Each structure stands twice: as C-alpha cells, then as structure tokens.
Amino acid sequence: MIPPSDFEGAMLKFVRTRAVASLISLVGLLVMVFFLSRLTGDPAALFLPVEASAEMKEQFRELHGLNDPLLVQFSRYVGDVVTGDFGESLRKARPALDVVLEAFTWTLWLAVITMTLVAGAAIVVGSLAAFRAGGFFDRLASVVSLIGASVPDFWIAIVAIVVFSVNLAWLPTSGTGSLLHWILPIAVLFIRPFGIIVQVVRGSMIGALSSAYVKTARAKGVRSGPIIFVHALRNAMLPVVTVLGDQAASLLNGAVIVETIFGFPGVGKLMIDSILQRDFNVVLAAILVTALAIFAMNLLIDLAYALLDPRIRH
C-alpha cells in the first residue's frame, strides 16, 4: 500500500525541487549575461558612445575595473547583482533597476490582465467547441481561432488605431493615463494567444471527453455541464497550462511591437529604447528582471500542474 496522500508535504517537496532547478538556471543566466557584455568585445566600446576618444575609454575601463582579472570582475558583478545594484541609467540618471522595475510593473499588469481574459475566454470557447466537435460552433471557433493565431499583431494594432481611434474616435491612440488607454493594447495582445489556446483547449478536451472516465460519469447520470467543466476540463488542462505559460512568458518579455505602437511604457519598449540609446546598464537589468519573472512563472506553472494532477505530486 502506498501511504496516505500527504498533500502539503508532497507539494512542499515538489516546489522545493523545482525551485532549486530554477535557481541553477538563473545562475547560468547570470554567467551568460556577464560574458555577453564582457567577452563579445570591449565593454568600453559597448557602453560609451561611438565617438568616444581612446582616453575616455581608458578612463571608463579604470573606473569600472575592466582591467582587473576576469574572475575578480565576475565576483564583483555577482555581488552587485545580488545587492540589486545594476549601476546608473546613463540616459535617465537614475538607478537602472528603478527604471526597469517601473516599466516592468506596467508590463506585468498588461500581461496579467490579458492572460486572465485569454485563459477564461479560450477555455470556455475551446471546451464548448470540443463538446460538439464538428458542429457549427466548433467550425466557427476554428475559423476565428485560426485567424487570431495567424494575423500579425502590428497589423491588427494599426488597423485598430485607424478604426477605433482615428475614424470612430472612441479610444485614445497611445500613451497611458486613463482606463481607456488600456483597452486597445489589451485587445490586440489578446488575439494571438486566444487563437492558439482555443485550439489547444479544443484538442485536449476532445481527448478528455472521449476518455473512459467520462463514460463512467455518463453512466452515473452526471449532467453535461459538470462532465465538460469538472470531469474533462481538469484532465485536459495540463497541455493548456503549458501553452498558457509560454504565451504569458512572451508577454512578460515585453510585447515589444504592441508597446511601441501604443506608446505603452512597458519593459519591451524600454529595452528597445535602451539598446538604441546604448543604455547598457538598463538593458542588463531588464534582462535579469524579465528572466526572474519568467522563472517565477515557470514555478507557478509547475505548481499548477501539481494542483491539477495528483499523480504529479507523488
């Protein structure tokens, strides 16, 4: 006999192993970022404007300890990162981390709201499509989701601005300030993940609905609603959670195009601006912050797996 299920103990152990695995990846990323900025060329050339003189570069190297042995540089870099010191933003004259966190908060909200809407809508639409696979609603959902998954977002964004902001003048074109400013970015970001996830939900639900345990539920006299949303859905959620995570990660990375078009001050736009302006401290901070966010999200996905499926806990 297997010992009785100790839910909390099993979960705790599960989370611990996953967290350790994430930590290892994070250390790997730290090392990579360090070498990217030190070994791909002369950091002084990277950080300073193109027209900087040789003396300025030497001064820069001296100031930032770039003439020290690599190992010394690395340990100093790790120390800085651990204490949250990414240096100053060259353009904004503020700590780079503050600049990044401010932008990241915007992106985080954008991603959380969008993905919540996507998950809710796609699960309902995909489940209903799967329940009557081949029926009218299923075919309609397939066409809509295919369009959603394939149309490029810059095009939707531009068309949306033309229609809703310019012609109808219902919504502002860009910037932030009111709730109305959120509608277009969210609507545009919604479309692609919605299209993809409807299809994943549908496929996974068709499998679950034809499973033996659904047959049992029907033999028990369970109504269609609970059969779809209680019996089948929870079993069908594992692949859905994976893809949801993927899509959320790409939003957290910064929805570069959409943020740029709508002038939304998120981390994607910040990264593009900082690269163009050679504000390298900000770029490095942004990479690490988004990476941390994605690690955190992977942990959440693993947790969701374990919550959904008791077999994973053991």
Partner 1 sequence: MADHLLEVRNLSVEFHTAVGVVKAVRNISYHLDRGETLAILGESGSGKSVSSSAIMNLIDMPPGRISSGEILLDGVDLLTMSAHERRRINGRRVAMIFQDPLSHLNPVYTVGWQIREALTTHGTDAAKAASEALRLLTRVGIPDPENALNKYPHEFSGGQRQRVMIAMALALRPDLLIADEPTTALDVTVQAEVLALLEELQQETGMAILIITHDLGVVAEVADRVVVMEKGVLVETGTVREVYKNPQHPYTKKLISAAPGKGDMHAPAARVEPVLSVHDVRKRYGSFEALKGISFDLMPGETMAVVGESGSGKSTLARILLRLDEPDSGRALWKGRDLFTMSPAELYKLRRDLQMVFQDPTQSLNPRMTVYQLISEAWVIHPDILPRAKWRERVAELLVQVGLGPEHMGRYPHQFSGGQRQRIAIARALALEPQLIICDEAVSALDVSVQAQVIALLDALRKEMGIAFIFIAHDLPVVRDFADHVMVMQKGDVVELGTVRDVFETPRQDYTRALLAAGLDPDPDVQAAHRAARLRRAS
Binding region for partner 1 (CB under 8 A)? 1-2, 4-5, 211-213, 215-223, 226, 231, 234-235, 308-311, 314
Least Å distance, CB 198 to partner 1, is: 22
> Can you tell me the distance from the alpha carbon of 162 to that of 176, in angstroms, rounded to the nearest whole number?
18
Vertex 294: Cα angle to 299 and 108 (nearest 5): 110
SS (H, E, C) 224-241: HHHHHHHHHHHHHHHHHH
Q: Cβ(73)–Cβ(33) under 8 Å?
A: no
Least distance to partner 1 from the beta carbon of 141, Å?
Answer: 20
Nearer to partner 1, 76 or 132 (CB): 132
| 236 versus 288: smaller Cβ distance to partner 1 | 236
CB 129, min distance to partner 1, A:
17
* Amino acid present at 67: N
CB of 262 to partner 1, least distance (A): 40
Q: Is residue 154 within 8 Å of residue 257, measured between CB atoms?
A: yes
CB of 219 to partner 1, least distance (A): 4
Nearer to partner 1, 94 or 139 (CB): 139
Phi-psi region of 102 (alpha: psi -120 to 50; beta: other; left: phi over 0): alpha
Tell me how far apart the alpha carbons of residues 86 and 80 are, in angstroms, rounded to a whole number: 7
Place of tokens 């900000």: 282
What minimum distance in Å lies between the beta carbon of 207 and partner 1? 12
CB-nearer residue toward partner 1: 76 or 218: 218
Query: For residue 303, which of 5, 17, 72 has the smallest C-alpha distance?
Result: 17
Closer CB to partner 1, 120 or 310, in the complex? 310
Cα four-point dihedral sign 79, 82, 83, 85:
positive
Minimal distance in Å, beta carbon 303 to partner 1?
A: 15
Nearest to 132 by CA among 226, 202, 194: 202
Q: What are phi and psi of 40, to 5 degrees?
A: -85, 5
Whose Cβ is closer to partner 1: residue 90's or residue 304's?
304
Nearer to partner 1, 2 or 168 (CB): 2
Q: Whose Cβ is closer to partner 1: residue 178's or residue 216's?
A: 216
SS3 state at 95: strand
Query: Least distance to partner 1 from the beta carbon of 124, Å?
Result: 20
Rounded distance between C-alpha atoms, residue 76 and residue 307, angstroms: 40
